[in-house]
Amino acid sequence: MHIKGRNRIMNLDNKNIGILGLGVSGYSAAKLASSLGANVFVSDSKSDVNDSYMKELTNMGVDIELGLHSEKILNSDLIIKSPGIPNDIEIIQSILDSKTEVISEIEFAYRMSDLKIIAITGTNGKTTTVTCLYEVLKKKFNVVKSGNIGTPFSEIIYKENKYKTLDTDFCILELSSFQIDDIDTFKPDIAMILNISPDHLDRYADFSDYSKSKMNLFKNMKDSDLIIYNHDDNVLCDEVEKRDKIFTAYSLNKNFSIFYLKDKKIESVHSKKNLHIDECELSGIHNISNFIGVATIASHLGLDDKDIFQSLKMFKGLHHRFEIFKQVDGIKFINDSKATNIASVKVAIDSIDRNIVLIMGGLPKESDFSEIIKYSESIKSIIAYGVASDDIYNSLSDSCKVLKIKKFEQAINSAIDLAERGDSVLMSPGCSSYDQFKNFEERGNFFKSIVERHYS
pLDDT band at 120 (very low <50, low <70, confident <90, very high): very high
**Amino acid (1-letter code) at residue 47:** S
Q: Summarize pLDDT for 266-284 with one digit per residue, the tens.
A: 999 999 999 999 999 888 8
For the chain, give every domain's residue range.
Answer: 2-105, 113-314, 323-455
Q: Summarize pLDDT for 312-324 with one digit per residue, the tens.
A: 999 988 888 899 9
Between the CA atoms of 438, 176, 359 and 330, what dihedral angle is there, to the nearest 10 degrees?
Answer: -110
- Are the folds of 113-314 and 323-455 the same? no
Left, alpha or beta for 272 (phi > 0: left; psi -120 to 50: alpha)? alpha
pLDDT above 50 for 48: yes
Residue 166, pLDDT score: 67
pLDDT band at 203 (very low <50, low <70, confident <90, very high): confident
Determine contact, residues 247/191, Cβ cutoff 8 Å: no
pLDDT above 80 for 45: yes
pLDDT band at 251 (very low <50, low <70, confident <90, very high): very high
Q: Summarize pLDDT for 15-30 with one digit per residue, the tens.
A: 999 999 999 999 999 9
Read off the pLDDT of each residue in 104-112 and give the average, rounded to a whole number.
94
Read off the pLDDT of each residue in 382-390 and give the average, rounded to a whole number.
97
The DSSP 8-state label assigned to residue 75 in this structure reads: G
pLDDT above 60 for 5: no
Which residue in 82, 23, 34 sits closest to 58, CA to CA?
Answer: 34
CATH, range 323-455: 3.90.190.20
Residue 247, pLDDT score: 96
Residue 2, pLDDT score: 32
What CATH architecture is 113-314? 3-Layer(aba) Sandwich (3.40)
Query: Bridge partners of 276?
Result: 265
pLDDT above 50 for 353: yes
pLDDT band at 160 (very low <50, low <70, confident <90, very high): confident
Read off the pLDDT of each residue in 221-226 and give the average, rounded to a whole number.
95
Read off the pLDDT of each residue in 225-239 and give the average, rounded to a whole number.
96
Share of the chain above pLDDT 90, in %: 81
Residue 4, pLDDT score: 38
Q: How far apart are CA 159 and CA 162, in angstroms?
A: 5
User: Phi and psi for 259 in degrees, rounded to 5?
Assistant: -115, 145
Residue 3, pLDDT score: 36
pTM: 0.83
Share of the chain above pLDDT 70, in %: 97
Q: How far apart are CA 453 and CA 456, in angstroms?
A: 5
How many helices (DSSP H) and strands (DSSP E) are in the chain?
Answer: 15, 22
Read off the pLDDT of each residue in 399-426 and give the average, rounded to a whole number.
96
Looking at CATH, the fold of the domain delimited by 2-105 is given as: Rossmann fold (3.40.50)
